[in-house]
Structure 1
Amino acid sequence: MAQLKLTHLTFIGTSVEPAQVEFGPSVTIVRGPSDTGKSFIVDALDFMLGANALKEIPEREAYSTVLLGLEMPDGEAVTLTRSVNGGNLGLYLSDIRDGPLTIPDQTLTPKHNAASVTNISRYLLGAIGMDGRQVRKNVRNATDSLSFRNVAHLCVVDETQMQAETPPALTGNYVTKTKEVSVLKMFLQDEDDSGLVEVESQSELVKLSKAKIDVVERLLRELEARLADEPEASELRDQLRRLTATIEEQSSPISDLVESRTALSAALQDRQRELAQLETEWGDTGALQNRFDILRRKYDSDLARLDTVREAGNLLGYFTAGTCAFCGAEPENQHNNTECDGDTTSFGAAIDEQVRRTRALADDLQSTIADVAERRQEVRRLATLSIGERERLIRNLAEVEKTLTRSNTALKDLLSKRASIERSLGLYDQIEALEKMKRVVVDEATAETAAVAASVNLRAQREFSRELVERLAAWGFPNPNDVRYDASAQDIVAGDQLRSAHGKGVRAILHGAFTLGLAKYCSDRDIPHPGFVVLDSPLVTYRPPDQMQAEDGEPPADVVTAFYQDIQRHAIGQVIVMENTDPTEALDAQTTDIIFTASGFGRYGFFPVE
């Protein structure tokens, strides 16, 4: 959601030290005694947001220009400048905190003008996504373009407004009352009045068809009957947010499981391929062993035959000197290795050589057989390991599949629940659309503000009342469940009394709850809101019910403690509080704490004191 942040407020002059206060991005507490400039800061902020005049106090006489630093929704730092006497505003597209000033990047007029974009109202509204909206201004459905001045009093609340009997949504100006009620309705229901059709007279209002109203009301009754057993839309939205978060949380582990399953399947396929290769090698080595065994037996057979030949030759004298066994020549007539092919001694040597060669081949074969046998043992060992790894992967994969099945079932249930909630929210949206249609055709013979108030639907009233109750309960306000927002009275009801009927301390704390509650209400529903809240003295006048008449003393310490703890823990956007009352506990590190002392120690006040 697009929101603005105030970064600093600075007063500069030609011969004085700048007076400056810097605001934190979340919570800023400006505290100290009266007359130190806290309320003037609130007035100056309102002035820089388009108010007509700046309060005159002696301390500002030497200053000529006001600088307001803003952080835009896109993170860009800009600075608005304006003369302390009023007039146009200068816009600088940078963070400026001192003079002298150059020519601004743009000049903006302070008065809203729907036909021009060069005014502060449309510039700020455009930044938060509210530019161009229309709000109703009278009973005839005439509309006017939304101005930032229609919004400013809902986020910048001075001390007088905080304690006034005027309802928080109104400024007390009778002329703009209808428009102010319409603006609040716009925040509560995130819809403007651009759909209204202006009529010329009261008589034409009466002519609006009652039959159309009857049809719409019948449709509304049917939808409400279908939603009779369903929770409120806000609760359904909370359930939807929680379900969505849970679905996201469960989707991540499922993704991890799917990745794990993929990795396990890939590893299992690798093991299967490895086993197939080992099985193939086992078969190949077995076949080699069989062939080598046949070859080994052949070598053994050859050696046996050679041994037989040798033995026979020895018995027949083939391998000894003497009469040649082949040609009968006597030794003296023998010519060895020349004329006689039957040289018996050479024949014996040949058999010895063949025996040697055959034995060498047999020895090599035996070594190869041993290597093959050793490899087969290694293949067996590797196959055993691979089978074990495969079984482990199969078990792990089965476990992942089981877990994934359970997770998918749970996720399907969550998705089914989310679809059911979305259907119910769709019915609420239909009711809201029908109520809007009814407002277009309803007979508006009643007073204009009452008509606008009646257009605030009951759901919005209930949900906004719940925001008020949560804030007040967190602050220790007595009987917070008895507090509600009454659209017909345009006021807060506490203890069966309108806020205006209570003392100024209760009025102040109820106004604070209204302003902070509205900011949180809008944030929770992505409804455009300026994004910052400035409260002047929400606590200083508050007393418990039994001390309502007492004007002196300090507000209850437990309420002060609870208030500061709550805005630090649950602040939405930027919260700036001006207060005379000091926190009873140390503020957290994210809170900007600005202390004015009205003395010679520390910072005296907003303006430097010589």
Structure 2
Amino acid sequence: MVIGLRIQKLLFLSNNTSSSIEFSNSVHIVNGASNTGKSLLIEAIDYMLGAENLKKVSESAGYNEIVMQIYLNDKPYTIFRKWPSTTFEIYNGLTESKENANFYNHFKIGKPTKSVNNISLFYLEGYTNTQISSNLFGEKSALTIRLLSRIILSSEEKIIRSDSPIIVGDTSENSKNKNVFKFLLTGKDDSNFETVTRGNEFKSEKKGQVSVLTDIVKTLKSNLIFSDDSYESLNERSEKLDITIDELIVNIDLSQHALSEIVSEKKKVSNELMDVSERINIIQANLANFKILKDIYINDIERLTSQEEAAFLIGIGHKGKCDVCGNIPKKIDKDLIEINILAEASTAEIKKIDSKLVELSDTNIKLDKQRILLLSREESLKIKLKNLDKKTEKRVPELKVGDHSLMTLRSERARFEIDLSLHERISFFSKKLQEAELKPVPKKYEAKAFYPENDAIDNFCRIYSEILKNIKLPGTNHVEFDYKIFDVIIDGNPRNLNGKGVRAILHSVFKIALLLHCRQKNIYHPGVVILDSPLVTYRDPLESKYGELEEDEKKLAETKISYHFLNYLHSISKFGQFIIIENIDVPESLKSIISNDTFYGKKAKSGQRVGLLNC
């Protein structure tokens, strides 16, 4: 995936017609006669990159909208912008008409609204939080496509100027432009720089801060409970109080431990007393039941004894014979037998009951003994429990007094701690107050604080030198960077001291070297370089508005640097897109590898293109 921008096609639309130019190759040359719209092409691209205005020309009458097809981070988009307008309509994919197109979003220039973002958010997705310092006070703003447009575009006017290629334009934004250059060289923005408060603003803030701190100290002092005591005396009293509290806690702990043992013993005695009482109740219930059983046994014996005696009386003197006939009747004989059996059974049952009565009597004796012992134990436990209650009643008031004393002492210590804390805060804010009163007006950063790191600059200069060697620039091509002018010095000669044509080619190399540095270091770069007249040194001295060639330009014009320059762009075309606006013809040997559009102007013949807006 290629991170950055590639321009595919630019279209100018009117109600009746359209005019377009397609950039089919990574290196594209637009050349031809003057006044054919070459400069308008660059200005139109800048307009689609968020420039506020695009001036109309005589040829643009009727054209009311511009369309730019692009690939952004390898994704195709089409951007529509009315001419003039402050808003953009962006569609997914490459299209020349909005009809049936896949709408993406609206964007605008200037401040965003609630629903429409600034165009920078589209072009710089992922980098809109990048902070760029605007000055040496560290005041920052977000990176924008407008700032990067100065890296992307070099107009004919700017390319020959003696200013640094990175700071040309509004001098009030020179610091910002330098810091954009630093960001591209290092990949590091300025978010770590704290903003320095300016003089008058600082004095106002200082006055307000001193006033606030004074009020805070005054309020804290008024909240002191022991206003006449110093921090040291309060701390000493607090320490003594801590010792007293610790001793009291030990005593309370001992009392609580003793009370805990009493309570534990009381619980044990109470449980045993409950158990003994329950056993006594059970024995007494058994004894009552045994008494009832004993009465039942005695009644049974009396009943059986009566049966035995009755049987005995019935059988005495009765031989079972009839007094008349002397015979023994069968029925009488059977009854006598049954009476004897009943008497014998009664006797046997009486013996069993007598045996059970003996056992019951023994059991009663044993249970009664147990009852007497348990009653004695019960009385002993009651006495013991009463004594434990007395001990408890004695300990509880002691604990209450100790707890009350502890609460009182802790309350006193809390008051000390409040004042100690207040004293610490008073000391802290008093120190802050003194620091605020003594704080000098902050100095703005030195310029070198924002300089790129040396290794980044060294690599940039190395790449710059290699490009000069590849395009066969005369000299040893030793490149250094001068922070005073924020530009290169080549073979000891500052770039700005060269003639217009040499400055133009060196300006171009500056922008190209920056792109290659970013690609080598995997640092963000827009990925497009658009140059207007980088080879102006080959101008016709009689027809060109820039006049005769200077001596260094004459030497350069005698070389084949135009060929080497364009051929070098082709060799690095995989790293970005290069759009070159020139007056010179493309060398024949390069026409097969570099795409080209020629505007012939008034001299155009049949089949030849007149200009940008006159196909």
TM-score grouping bracket, smaller chain normalisation: 0.5 to 0.7
Q: Is the 8 A contact 2:72 2:123 kept in 1?
A: no
Q: Is the 8 A contact 2:12 2:613 kept in 1?
A: no
- CA distance change for structure 1 residues 587 and 602 in 2, over 3 Å: closer, same or farther? farther
Structure 1 position 21 matched with structure 2 position 21: yes
> Residue by residue, what CA displacement relative to the aligned partner does 1:428-467 show, whole Å, maximum 9, x if unpaired?
xxxxxxxxxxxxxxx995776x2355x3222111111111
- CA distance change for structure 1 residues 480 and 11 in 2, over 3 Å: closer, same or farther? farther
- CA distance change for structure 1 residues 200 and 517 in 2, over 3 Å: closer, same or farther? same
| Aligned mate of 1:534, from 530, 536, 541 | 530
Q: Is the 8 A contact 1:112 1:147 kept in 2?
A: no
* Letter aligned with residue 594 of structure 2: T
Residue in 1 that maps onto 2:82: 83
* Letter aligned with residue 30 of structure 2: V
Residue in 2 that maps onto 1:561: 563
- CA distance change for structure 1 residues 203 and 36 in 2, over 3 Å: closer, same or farther? closer
Residue in 1 that maps onto 2:452: 456
Structure 1 position 522 matched with structure 2 position 543: no
Residue in 2 that maps onto 1:335: none
Structure 1 position 548 matched with structure 2 position 547: no
1:461-476 aligned within 5 A: 461-476=457-472
Q: Is the 8 A contact 2:50 2:109 kept in 1?
A: yes
Structure 1 position 155 matched with structure 2 position 152: yes
CA distance in 2, matches of 1:180, 1:115: 29
* Letter aligned with residue 26 of structure 1: S
Equivalent residue of 2:464, what SS?
helix
* Letter aligned with residue 479 of structure 2: V
Q: Is the 8 A contact 1:36 1:604 kept in 2?
A: no
Q: Is the 8 A contact 1:134 1:194 kept in 2?
A: yes
> Residue by residue, what CA displacement relative to the aligned partner does 1:116-158 show, whole Å, maximum 9, x if unpaired?
87221111011xx422100111222221111111111111111
Residue in 1 that maps onto 2:378: none
Q: Is the 8 A contact 2:95 2:101 kept in 1?
A: no
Following superposition, the deviation at residue 36 of structure 1 comes to 1.8
CA distance in 1, matches of 2:51, 2:19: 20
CA distance in 1, matches of 2:79, 2:130: 24
CA distance in 2, matches of 1:480, 1:26: 30
Following superposition, the deviation at residue 489 of structure 1 comes to 1.9
Q: Is the 8 A contact 1:42 1:156 kept in 2?
A: yes
Following superposition, the deviation at residue 553 of structure 1 comes to 12
Q: Is the 8 A contact 2:481 2:489 kept in 1?
A: yes
Following superposition, the deviation at residue 555 of structure 1 comes to 3.8
Following superposition, the deviation at residue 165 of structure 1 comes to 1.9
CA distance in 2, matches of 1:447, 1:195: 13
| Aligned mate of 2:504, from 499, 504, 508 | 508
- CA distance change for structure 1 residues 131 and 590 in 2, over 3 Å: closer, same or farther? farther
Equivalent residue of 2:563, what SS?
helix
Following superposition, the deviation at residue 603 of structure 1 comes to 3.0
Gaps of 5+ in 2: 203-440, 542-547
Q: Is the 8 A contact 2:32 2:599 kept in 1?
A: yes
Residue in 2 that maps onto 1:280: none
- CA distance change for structure 1 residues 85 and 201 in 2, over 3 Å: closer, same or farther? closer
Residue in 1 that maps onto 2:605: 600
Equivalent residue of 1:534, what SS?
strand
Equivalent residue of 1:595, what SS?
strand
Q: Is the 8 A contact 2:531 2:580 kept in 1?
A: yes
Q: Is the 8 A contact 2:91 2:101 kept in 1?
A: no
Structure 1 position 487 matched with structure 2 position 483: yes
Residue in 2 that maps onto 1:145: 142
Structure 1 position 8 matched with structure 2 position 5: no
Q: Is the 8 A contact 1:30 1:594 kept in 2?
A: yes
Following superposition, the deviation at residue 99 of structure 1 comes to 6.8
TM-score normalised by structure 1 residue count = 0.55
Following superposition, the deviation at residue 587 of structure 1 comes to 2.1
Equivalent residue of 2:81, what SS?
strand
* Letter aligned with residue 513 of structure 1: V
Q: Is the 8 A contact 1:157 1:536 kept in 2?
A: yes
- CA distance change for structure 1 residues 554 and 176 in 2, over 3 Å: closer, same or farther? closer
- CA distance change for structure 1 residues 102 and 60 in 2, over 3 Å: closer, same or farther? farther
Runs of 4+ more than 4 Å apart: 98-104, 112-117, 201-205, 443-448, 549-554
| Aligned mate of 2:578, from 561, 568, 575 | 575
Residue in 2 that maps onto 1:325: none
* Letter aligned with residue 83 of structure 2: V
* Letter aligned with residue 54 of structure 1: L
Residue in 2 that maps onto 1:219: none
Equivalent residue of 2:132, what SS?
strand
Following superposition, the deviation at residue 547 of structure 1 comes to 5.2
* Letter aligned with residue 172 of structure 2: V
1:317-356 aligned within 5 A: none
* Letter aligned with residue 107 of structure 2: L
With 111-120 and 87-96 compared, the bigger mean Cα shift is at 111-120
Residue in 1 that maps onto 2:95: 96
- Count of equivalent residues: 366
Residue in 1 that maps onto 2:335: none
* Letter aligned with residue 79 of structure 1: T
CA distance in 2, matches of 1:138, 1:116: 31
CA distance in 1, matches of 2:100, 2:165: 38
Q: Is the 8 A contact 1:7 1:71 kept in 2?
A: yes
CA distance in 1, matches of 2:98, 2:557: 42
CA distance in 1, matches of 2:198, 2:39: 45
Following superposition, the deviation at residue 549 of structure 1 comes to 5.1
Identity of aligned residues (%): 28
| Aligned mate of 1:177, from 168, 174, 197 | 174
Q: Is the 8 A contact 1:9 1:22 kept in 2?
A: yes
Following superposition, the deviation at residue 80 of structure 1 comes to 0.8
- CA distance change for structure 1 residues 116 and 478 in 2, over 3 Å: closer, same or farther? farther
- CA distance change for structure 1 residues 466 and 552 in 2, over 3 Å: closer, same or farther? closer
CA distance in 1, matches of 2:555, 2:14: 39
1:245-256 aligned within 5 A: none
> Residue by residue, what CA displacement relative to the aligned partner does 1:473-511 show, whole Å, maximum 9, x if unpaired?
111212252333323321122343332222111110011
Residue in 2 that maps onto 1:122: 121
Q: Is the 8 A contact 1:554 1:581 kept in 2?
A: no
Following superposition, the deviation at residue 10 of structure 1 comes to 0.3
* Letter aligned with residue 41 of structure 1: L
RMSD: 3.1
Bigger Cα Rg:
2
